[in-house]
Structure 1
Amino acid sequence: MPFPIQVALPAGSALRYPEGMTQHKLDPIDQEIVQRLSHDARISNRSIAKEVGITEGTVRQRIKRLQKDGLIQFTVVTDSAWQALPIFA
């Protein structure tokens, strides 16, 4: 099932891309990968490959390309309660 990407813009405004960026379209396989990552960013490449029906290497390559092109990024979110505690390595 394709993952529709929609952007809501104020009336009368146009979508502008930062200098040097162009509009990217995700093909159905990229959409499937992004959909699975959006539900669980810790899912393994092997699991994605099995679910989508492609090789693990293809998943890895596509994720790297999506990151390089700035289309996806992975972010760590911490629990604010832990921020007050000292961290020992």
Structure 2
Amino acid sequence: MESVMKLSECRSGDIVLITEIDSHVSGTLRLRELGVLEGVDLKVIKSSNPMLLHVNESRIALDRELAAAISVNYMVSASGNQTC
């Protein structure tokens, strides 16, 4: 079963797959330029504000409001359970 949620809901240690980015939210174009795209997996390093993400061999700091514009599916939860 897939677990769809907003990136802003993820916890430190979660590994997720980006499924959708709301292009109507300011700042999402810049994220795309940085490689934050649908189909890309990322790891949440820090879940407080700002969030710290590991994406494509880079670390990106992201405001939680912008993270709420990104829908993801769990790949591995922070507890280590593989979910998809």
Structure number, greater radius of gyration: 1
Larger proportion of helix: 1
With a CA cutoff of 8 Å and minimum separation of 6, indicate the structure with the bigger relative contact order.
2
TM (norm. structure 1) is 0.30
Larger proportion of strand: 2
